[in-house]
Amino acid sequence: MIKMKRMLTILLVMGMLFSMASCGSASSAASQPVEEAAKETMVSQAVDTSHTEAEIVSQNQADVKVSGSDTLVIYFSRTGEQYNVGVIEKGNTAIVAEMIAETTGADLYEVIPADDHYPTTYKELTDVGIQEQRERARPAIGGELPDISGYDTVFVGAPVWWGDWPMIMYTLFESVDLNGKTLIPFSTHGGSGLSGFDRSLGAAFPNSEVLKGLAITGTDAQNKQDDVKTRVQKWITELGV
């Protein structure tokens, strides 16, 4: 009887030990995936943080002016149907502006209307242009205005509209102080030349020096670009800028 009790006691003890060992093993196995998942999450978060910082640095670098030029070309230009050249994909003034920038190493700023209501057909465009002139309109400029603080020389160009600057250029003149700069006008036209662009700039910015301007016909800008580039280079050489 005593032997049987001892045997039962031994069996009970062994059963309890085996049960505890099994629980411990199961607990360890269950905790392993949780720990690995936690490690993977930490690694993933570290990679994502690094990527975000890289994007921020890249964005900041994109905002930095890297050309170092002290010359700026500001221009307004139109595509669509234009006088004597038909429908064009790049504006006459834009073509000349890019030539000036290429020759001088200047930066470019295009004046773009906030509300581009200008027609793409020539007759309707001229009607809008003269109406704005009669009303002394000041069409709004889209986007940020140019920061001209780092520039000493500014080329300013546009197509001639009814013997004058397009009215949106007067919006620019009244919004950006170009006093103290060397200003150089240029125009594209259908026969009216520079149309007093130099005098208008001098009147708007009396404390600036206005140098000799350049006038290019729209037909030359579109069809004789090699000749125009030669004229642009000669003009800039003569200006000494």
Question: Are residues 8 and 86 located together in one domain of the fold?
Answer: no
State the CB neighbour count (10 A cutoff) for residue 208: 17
Domain that holds residue 34: 1-64
Question: Are residues 104 and 166 located together in one domain of the fold?
Answer: yes
pTM score: 0.73
Q: Quick: pLDDT tens for 157-187.
A: 999 999 999 999 999 999 999 999 999 999 9
Given 64, 87, 111, the domain boundary residue is 64
Question: Are residues 16 and 113 located together in one domain of the fold?
Answer: no
**Phi–psi pair at 10, nearest 5 degrees:** -60, -45
Supply angle C-alpha 147, 148, 151, rounded to 5. 140
Question: Are residues 48 and 75 located together in one domain of the fold?
Answer: no
Alpha helices in 117-163 (DSSP H): 122-134
Q: Do 239 and 184 form a contact (C-beta atoms < 8 A)?
A: yes
Question: Are residues 55 and 98 located together in one domain of the fold?
Answer: no
pLDDT at 68: 80
Question: Are residues 115 and 190 located together in one domain of the fold?
Answer: yes
Report how far residue 211's alpha carbon sits from residue 194's, in angstroms, rounded to the nearest whole number: 13
pLDDT at 116: 95
Question: Are residues 99 and 189 located together in one domain of the fold?
Answer: yes
- Residue 116's SS3 state is coil
Question: Are residues 93 and 53 located together in one domain of the fold?
Answer: no
- Number of folded domains that form the chain: 2
For 151, which DSSP code? Answer: -
Q: Quick: pLDDT tens for 112-160.
A: 999 999 999 999 999 999 999 999 999 999 999 999 999 999 999 999 9
Question: Are residues 60 and 85 located together in one domain of the fold?
Answer: no
Question: Are residues 82 and 3 located together in one domain of the fold?
Answer: no
State the CB neighbour count (10 A cutoff) for residue 87: 11
Q: Do 168 and 111 form a contact (C-beta atoms < 8 A)?
A: yes
Given 44, 64, 84, the domain boundary residue is 64
Report how far residue 37's alpha carbon sits from residue 33's, in angstroms, rounded to the nearest whole number: 6
Q: pLDDT grade, residue 50 (50/70/90)?
A: very low
Q: The CATH number of the domain where 225 resides is what?
A: 3.40.50.360
Question: Are residues 35 and 95 located together in one domain of the fold?
Answer: no
Given 49, 64, 79, the domain boundary residue is 64
Question: Are residues 18 and 128 located together in one domain of the fold?
Answer: no
Query: Across the chain, what does the average pLDDT equal?
Result: 81
